[in-house]
Amino acid sequence: MKTQQLLTTHPLVSQLEEVNLSHPFTELGWLTGCVGQEALIRAWYPKASQITVCSTDGAIEQQMTCIDHRGLFELGNADVFAGAYRLRIDSPYAPQVECWDPYAFKQCSYQGLEQLEQSLRSWYRVLGAQLMTMPAGNHTVNGVRFVVYAPNASSVSVIGDFNHWDGRRHPMERCLDGHWVLFMPELKAGQRYKYELKDKQGAQLPHKADPIGFYAEQYPSLASVIWDHSDYEWTDQRWQEREVDPPIHQPMSIYEVHIGSWKRKHNSFGWASLSYRELATELVEYVKEMGYTHIELMPISEHPFDGSWGYQPVGLFSPTSRYGNPDDFKYFIDCCHQAGIGVIIDWVPAHFPADAHGLARFDGTTLYEYSDPRRGWHKDWNSYIYDFGRDTVRRFLIASALIWFDYYHVDGLRVDAVASMLYWDYSREEGEWIPNVDGGNQNYEAISLLKWFNEEVYREFPRALTVAEESTAFSGVSRPTYLGGLGFGFKWNMGWMHDSLQYMQQDPLFRKYHHNEITFAMVYNYDENFILPLSHDEVVHGKGALLGKMPGDEWQQAANLRVYTAFMFAHPGKKLSFMGNEIAQVSEWNHDGSVEWTVLEYPRHYAQQALTKALNHVYRQHPALYEGDHQHEGFKWIDYNDWQRSILAFERHALSSDDMVIVVCNFTPTPVQSYRLGVPQAGHYQVIFNSDDESYWGSGMVEVACIIAQPLPWQGRGYSIVIPLPPLAAIYLVATKDS
């Protein structure tokens, strides 16, 4: 009777019913030190009619007393159970259930939390929904330990199918540093869950997906899903083994892919995207046959809106479930590695969407975003900006980068929208931004974060690649942090892309007046480790396909695209081209559609595909075309000043051998019957590639395959050769040893 009187005046039942309890470990489960009791078991199960406490061996059973009809039960003198017991629950609304009591696992619920300050990898090994085994007397119990960071919430509950999405059922325990924990016995991988939070004032927030969730459902549930990362058995044993040469001396020809629209299949519901496992066969085989070295995936982090292409992610720790589960994605990467193909994925730390189930005002406050909209809101993308100065946000972001290497074996990350992170005034008018402490426009917090990100990635995974999409002249993007740089391995050369495309869009008659646009990139080529991108950004939003940017009639358009592609492969810098470019797709990219594979029925399209395939193989066979991309020794102009005829000639040199490739480009439709070209040595010169070859739908003007150098100095060289130069064409030559 004393216990009943105590509880009828105690606010516990109201707190539980209204979901306002922040420390359930002191009120529920196996308790000691209660008034008049040696030990007490207290259980809270709304709608339960009877609860029986059972010993783990089933030998002892004692019925609990219902203290409040809303679902609070107690059992006094409970020392015999000593924290290891099961509950048998009867309810008029559901079948009888026997289960372990989550609130009997209090001390072990904190297991590993101290690691969060010691290791960034611990953020995804400790936080979120972790499958764990806990001691229970002489037994062990499998289950899931949930940990979520919400320091400004007044209460947090874990909800899911296992408790009918009822926030009253499983309130979590608040730790001193703002994490909330609860171990749920007998939960398994595949079960859905979310968090129910109340803000400081006790107002309930929209149900939140797990910020460290490993798997999630699509609309309408958008629920997080428990996942076991230990199940998959990798077969790519050589992944991340250190090679002799660093990536800057290796060939990199990257095929950029939007998974959802690379190829579609027809099913009973209409047209659908290929799954990860289907892509592991079809995409991998295609990329290998075409000769690309890497696949770059547009963001595959979980995102709610298809139309964002993945650039508005809510799940930085989970591959999108649109195409399969996490193991399916691992299988795709595994198959890529077995085929000798590296995988780069786009990573988006610059911003996140305002979707209610995501990170926005996660605990009722601006926990992840800057609070001032002049710093915390992107008006261009209608998205929030991470608070790059907050330690927990910085650790969250870097951990979200490491997991892709650690759990998914990716080879590289391409960081999206770096320029928007570096500058406070990015895409903002005067008065719309706040200067830094020195009165300038650089975001020191973001700069510091990017440096730390690169240091952690390369420290943990020395053979990794990090790539910056950075469109300004910010100095040292791909220089080591110890030299004052940001530490990226590579930077997209947006200047080359802009200038060269602008040049190619000119009528060839007027290209001579824009000659500097096609040569200017060599002025700054050695400032950074560049990748030359012809990405998805160039074929959307009304820009049209690459083929449509080329001037002239049907043949000239195709010839322009061929010479441009060949010029790109010969120019210093690693290569990246978006899917569809390799077949001269006619329409601009549509994320709801597919690459226009049907155009391969026509000559100019399968010719462009054949040309791209040939270039990939020539590129990989000649170290001259990649080893010296970032060293002065790797490139020499032969003639960059023939602006009146719009002709360029240059040499590419290997660093590890005497391999040399000479490249001549004619950017006009006017053929030159006898073009004299300076060469550095005597001997024979063989044409190894000609974009005007008939097999590429060219004119077939060049028939001679080998030319003998004459001892006639020309263009600063001691020897020269005379070759026919086809219209709108590029020719590669190599010196051959005399027999």
Question: Does the residue 568 lie in any domain?
Answer: yes
Instruction: Give tens-digit pLDDT for 190-228.
Output: 999 999 999 999 999 999 999 999 999 999 999 999 999
| Residue 474 sits in the same domain as residue 582 | yes
Output the pLDDT for position 267.
78
| Residue 112 sits in the same domain as residue 100 | no
One-letter amino acid of 324: G
Which pTM does this prediction carry?
0.95
Is 545 a residue whose pLDDT tops 50? yes
319 with 329: CB under 8 angstroms? Answer: yes
Question: Does the residue 523 lie in any domain?
Answer: yes
Is 454 a residue whose pLDDT tops 70? yes
Give the rounded distance of the alpha carbon of 379 from its chain centre. 23
42 with 190: CB under 8 angstroms? Answer: no
**Reported confidence tier of residue 270, pLDDT bands at 50, 70, 90:** confident
**Reported confidence tier of residue 37, pLDDT bands at 50, 70, 90:** low
| Residue 350 sits in the same domain as residue 256 | yes
Tell which of 43, 77, 104 closes a domain: 104
Is 36 a residue whose pLDDT tops 60? no
Tell which of 70, 104, 138 closes a domain: 104
Burial of 644 (0-12, 13-18, 19+ CB in 10 A): exposed
**Reported confidence tier of residue 1, pLDDT bands at 50, 70, 90:** very low
Question: Does the residue 230 lie in any domain?
Answer: no
Question: Does the residue 232 lie in any domain?
Answer: no
Question: Does the residue 604 lie in any domain?
Answer: yes
| Structural Rg of the chain based on CA atoms | 32
| Residue 415 sits in the same domain as residue 501 | yes
Tell which of 89, 104, 119 closes a domain: 104
Q: Domain of 661? A: 632-736
Output the pLDDT for position 189.
96
CATH number at 36 reads 2.60.40.10
Output the pLDDT for position 38.
79
Instruction: Give tens-digit pLDDT for 97-116.
Output: 999 999 999 887 888 888 88
Burial of 20 (0-12, 13-18, 19+ CB in 10 A): middle
Which H/E stretch holds residue 563? helix 554-570
Which H/E stretch holds residue 413? strand 412-415
Pairwise CA distance, residues 729 & 567, whole Å = 9
Reading the block at residue 523, the tokens are 């002025």
Q: Phi and psi at residue 201, in whole multiples of 5°?
A: -85, 0
Output the pLDDT for position 4.
44
How many domains does one find in the chain?
4
What DSSP state is assigned to residue 76?
A: E
| Residue 212 sits in the same domain as residue 259 | no
Output the pLDDT for position 505.
98
Output the pLDDT for position 738.
60
User: Highest mean pLDDT range out of 8-17, 63-72, 310-319, 729-738?
Assistant: 310-319
Which H/E stretch holds residue 69? none
Residue with tokens 């707190």: 15
Instruction: Give tens-digit pLDDT for 112-170.
Output: 888 888 899 999 999 999 999 998 888 899 999 999 999 999 999 999 999 999 999 99
Pairwise CA distance, residues 24 & 10, whole Å = 14
Is 444 a residue whose pLDDT tops 90? yes
| Residue 94 sits in the same domain as residue 28 | yes
Pairwise CA distance, residues 405 & 420, whole Å = 25
Instruction: Give tens-digit pLDDT for 395-425.
Output: 999 999 999 999 999 999 999 999 999 999 9
| Residue 175 sits in the same domain as residue 289 | no
Question: Does the residue 724 lie in any domain?
Answer: yes
Between residues 464 and 267, which one has the greater pLDDT? 464
| Across 305-315, average pLDDT | 96
How high is the mean pLDDT of the chain?
94
279-310 burial, b at 16+ Cβ within 10 Å, e below that, comes to bbeebbebbbebbbbbbbbbbbbbbbebebbb
What DSSP state is assigned to residue 109?
A: G
| Across 287-305, average pLDDT | 98
| Residue 608 sits in the same domain as residue 646 | no
Is 35 a residue whose pLDDT tops 70? no
Range from 65-74, 285-294, 687-696 carrying the lowest mean pLDDT: 65-74
* Active-site position among 101, 327, 416, 517: 416
What length is written for the chain? 739
CATH number at 280 reads 3.20.20.80
Instruction: Give tens-digit pLDDT for 676-724.
Output: 999 999 999 999 999 999 999 999 988 777 899 999 999 999 999 999 9
CATH number at 663 reads 2.60.40.1180
Calculate what percentage of the chain has a pLDDT beyond 90.
88
| Residue 24 sits in the same domain as residue 125 | no
Is 29 a residue whose pLDDT tops 80? yes
Calculate what percentage of the chain has a pLDDT beyond 70.
97
SS3 annotation, 523-561: HCHHHCCEEEEECHHHHCCCCCCHHHHCCCCHHHHHHHH
| Residue 604 sits in the same domain as residue 666 | no
| Across 315-327, average pLDDT | 98
* Active-site position among 411, 469, 629, 651: 469
| 430 in active site | no
Question: Does the residue 28 lie in any domain?
Answer: yes
**Reported confidence tier of residue 238, pLDDT bands at 50, 70, 90:** confident
| 416 in active site | yes
| Residue 295 sits in the same domain as residue 349 | yes
Between residues 311 and 176, which one has the greater pLDDT? 311
Is 34 a residue whose pLDDT tops 60? no
Question: Does the residue 26 lie in any domain?
Answer: yes
Output the pLDDT for position 5.
41
One-letter amino acid of 110: Y
Reading the block at residue 512, the tokens are 């001579």
| Residue 667 sits in the same domain as residue 729 | yes
